[in-house]
Amino acid sequence: MSGFAPENDDRQRVRDASDIVAVVGEHLSLKAKGREYVGLCPFHDDRNPSMCVIPAKQIFHCFVCGAGGDVFTFIQKYHSMGFREALEYLAQRGNIELTPFKKFGVGGNDGEGSYQRNQMGKREVMAANETAQSFFKAIISHPEHGSAARKIIEERGISQEMVERFGIGASPDRWDGLLMTAEKNGMSISALMGAGLIKERDTGGYYDALRNRLIFPITDQIGRVIAFGGRKINEEDEPKYLNSPETALFRKSTTLYGINHAARAIKRERTAVVVEGYTDVIACHQAGVEHVVGTLGTALTSGHATVLRRLCDTVVLLFDGDHA
Ligand code: ZN
């Protein structure tokens, strides 16, 4: 069909720029074996390297679970993405500009195929998180609204470089800060509710879920914001930490804070260090120890272990002991 010609061209250009060994190697540790590479398969509970990557054919294949395909299949399966999303991710990675495609963001029209409709929940939450992240970042540099949050950062000895690397933000001391920003930007309330950032009052109307907090964006392995953690600014507020609820994008039991900044070092060191809190992770990275990730106030789950086992052999737990 001629209507798909630009996309086919994009697909080829992106494929040419996305060597499968390099792309898979960014997600799991690969070892050369003759003309091929082997690693632990991320698609089943693999103990012995069963996944084979074949550079000559630009494909991967698992001998145990049968998973296999090209570089797009790998990204789609690994990140639970649709084809278009995987194409965009690999294009961004390879600095390739795609042929403009009809936007299917928040409030998009119908008639754009079933893929877009299926992805609507995730895309809406992702868009809401992006809006919120811009807002929280703007607040932390605001002379008045960000001053209390900046004071905590200073007391904790967190450098400006880390504030930027980890995208730390703040929410203002009012119940409608994000709400008003969203309205101004034409973002739908339902998207923000889907992201758990806006809640509905029993008496009608809406309010910000994270009010007056230091905000730590939580990302997936490729750096997309999937949730937020908020630390209280006022002593009298409870609880001390408040996370986004689980959403179409966010599963607490498989998410590790800082994984996007730590994955490379974890593979290099063949070891992951797991700590408890956001600020513990940031302090380690600031000290130049980058193979460190954090759980989100939980014990290490089997989901976390699965994510880490793909990257390294050894996991060191550094927990205070005052929680679990
Ligand atoms: Zn497998």
Q: Is the pTM of this model over 0.85?
A: no
The answer to whether 277 and 264 are in contact (CB under 8 A) is no
| Residues within 5 A (CB) of ion ligand 1 | 41, 43-44, 62, 64-65, 67
**What are the tens digits of pLDDT across the range 84-116?**
889 988 998 898 988 875 544 443 333 344 444
Quote the ligand 1 centre to 24 CA distance (angstroms): 14
Band of residue 3 on the pLDDT scale cut at 50, 70, 90 = very low
19: left (phi over 0), alpha (psi -120 to 50) or beta: beta
| Interstrand relation of 59-62 and 68-69 (parallel, antiparallel or unpaired) | antiparallel
Closest by CA position to 216, among listed 149, 273, 124: 149
- The 10s digit of each residue's pLDDT in 237-279 is 999 999 999 988 898 998 999 999 999 899 889 999 999 999 9
How many A from CA of 31 to the centre of ligand 1? 16
Q: How confident is the model at residue 148 (pLDDT cuts 50, 70, 90)?
A: very high
Cβ atoms of 195 and 248 closer than 8 Å: no
In 3D space, the residue among 94, 13, 7, 22 whose CA is nearest the CA of residue 60 turns out to be 22
Non-local CB neighbours of 290 within 8 Å, separated by 6+ positions: 261, 262, 264, 265, 284
Q: What is the DSSP letter of 159?
A: -
